[in-house]
Every structure is written in structure tokens, then in C-alpha cells.
Amino acid sequence: MIEINNLWKIYNKRTLERTNALSSVSFKIKKEEIISIVGKTGSGKTTLANILLGITKPTDGKVILNNEIIINKKSKKRNLRKITNFLLLSFQYPEHQLFRITVREEILFNSNDEKYMNELIKNFNLQKNLLDKSPFVLSSGQKRKVILISLLIQKPKIIIFDEATSFLDPKSRREFISLLKKVNKKMKTTIIFISHNIQDVINISDRVVLLEEGFLTKIGNPKEVVDFYLKGGTHGKK
């Protein structure tokens, strides 16, 4: 569905701080799949997410959606409008994504679709009386559900989760993973899951991408890619 084609990102190009965050990264994201991106700190995962979201411009390369280039080094805001709603990000700390006075306002901030809101609430087993409460009094599990609902009500085709499970205890983590699987199955949302937690990655993914120092060095079956990664990746093979 989305084709990432020969993507490069070089930060601080003309200085000593020059960093090749992404080097010639190409792969396709299939419709309705859960694809994870793994790799050590600084391997380029967040950079890739930020390019897809239109937050960062690539130094070179393009992102193609339905035969149309939606992102390249010349991407203008005009092109990026096509991405909005199509692709959304869930932050690492849910608290940072909650701003409104009530849960209802939070969910309906980017949509007026109360009917769909009620359907989603039912689907996520949230009590209706929570709608008039402040998001801040919710448990962290409930907060995560509210955030997911406030994203899903915008009917995105893709949601990116960048380290969304890193600060959860093992039980909340398992619950969140099964929630995401449910979202993927029921709402047919494509999920890009970025994580350091290998167990989460194996549990959730249809496919996994490995980034090593900005290079895509392996893509495919979760177990195979994770095994390769845990054995040291490209360097481990030598």
C-alpha cells in the first residue's frame, strides 16, 4: 500500500556532526499488516517514522502511496495534507496526548461522529460514564484506550506506535498488544510498531524490518529477523 523508496536522511550535512540516519532504505508496507521496526538506539527508527508523518523531510528518496509520490525532499505542506488522517502517531507517553477537559471532548476533538464514538467505546469495553470525566482521573489502561479511540475516530489507514509499550508493566503491555491486534483485525488499521521489546515485536508482528545504523539489513518473518538481530545482525555474521 505504501512504498518507501530509496529513502535517505542525513542530519547536519555540511558539518562535523553529519549523521547518516537513513541510507537507501526501501520496503513496502502492505495493507492491513502489523509491521514492526527494530534496531539499536540511533538506528533510524524514529527518523523513519517522522518522515512518514511529514515531520521530517528526507534528504533523498520518496514515499509512494497508490502510485502517487506523497513525500520527497521537496514535499510541501500541500502534499502532506494527504497524509493527515491517513496516518497518525501515538506518542510514547499517553498523558502527552490528552489535553481536553473531558474524555468526550478528547475523543470528539478531531471528529463529530458520536455514533462511531459510542461504537468504539463499546468495542473497547469502556464504561459510558467515563465520557464526562477528566482524562486525567483514568487509569493508564483506560487512558491508552481513550487515546486509541481518539485516533481511530479519525479513521486512519495507518497508525504508528513509536515505543508505545516501553513504560508499561508486563501485564499492561500484554493487554495493550492484544488491544492493538484487535484494532488491526476489526478496524483493518495498518500498524507500524516501533519497539525495543523483542517479545512484544514477536507477539504482534506479521513482518519485521531491521535497521542497522540507518541501513535496512533484513525484512520478513518476525522470528527470523529477530533471531538475526539478537545474534548481532550483519556484524554477527562475520
Binding site for ligand ATP (CB under 6 A): 11-12, 19, 21, 39, 41-47
Cell of 20: 547518516
Question: Is the CB of 93 or the CB of 136 nearer to ligand ATP?
Answer: 93
| Residue 44 binding target from ligand ATP, Mg ion, none, CB below 5 to 8 Å by type | ligand ATP
In sequence order, the β-bridge partners of residue 4 are 27, 63
Cα four-point dihedral sign 118, 167, 50, 39: negative
What is the number of other CB atoms lying within 10 angstroms of the CB of residue 14?
7
Residue 176: CA atoms inside 13 Å, Cβ hemisphere, count? Answer: 27
| Residue 43 binding target from ligand ATP, Mg ion, none, CB below 5 to 8 Å by type | ligand ATP
Question: Is the CB of 39 or the CB of 135 nearer to ligand ATP?
Answer: 39
CB of 47 to Mg ion, least distance (A): 8
Cα four-point dihedral sign 116, 132, 146, 179: negative
| Rounded Cα gap, residues 120 and 126, in angstroms | 9
Question: Is the CB of 9 or the CB of 145 nearer to ligand ATP?
Answer: 9
Question: Is the CB of 41 or the CB of 127 nearer to ligand ATP?
Answer: 41
CB of 41 to ligand ATP, least distance (A): 4
What is the number of other CB atoms lying within 10 angstroms of the CB of residue 76?
8
CB of 114 to Mg ion, least distance (A): 36
CB of 12 to ligand ATP, least distance (A): 6
